[in-house]
Amino acid sequence: MSTHDQIAGRRDVALVDLLDRLMAGGVVIGGDITLAIADVDLVYVGLRAIINSVAGEEETGVALPPVREGPPA
């Protein structure tokens, strides 16, 4: 995987967490959520594939540096 792909992948993985927070967390004030729910659903569907491919990797996933054997530094 190229560095470019890793950075893109990291952003996509972070996007799932971003959605979890911006759409379900935060202080709620006033009125309407303008982001159509359909859009959010599409994002989740698209990202499921990414999550699953990350989960299938041998190492810890793209959001953490690789685990080294031996005692922690």
Rounded Cα gap, residues 73 and 68, in angstroms = 10
Give the nearer residue to other proteins in terms of CB position, either 4 or 70: 70
Does residue 6 contact residue 62 with C-beta atoms inside 8 Å?
Answer: yes
Looking at 1, 2, 4, 39, which residue binds other proteins (CB under 8 A)? 39
Give the nearer residue to other proteins in terms of CB position, either 2 or 72: 72
Rounded Cα gap, residues 18 and 24, in angstroms = 10
Alpha carbon 15 to chain centroid distance?
4
Looking at 5, 7, 21, 41, which residue binds other proteins (CB under 8 A)? 21
Report, in Å, the least distance between residue 1 CB and other proteins: 15
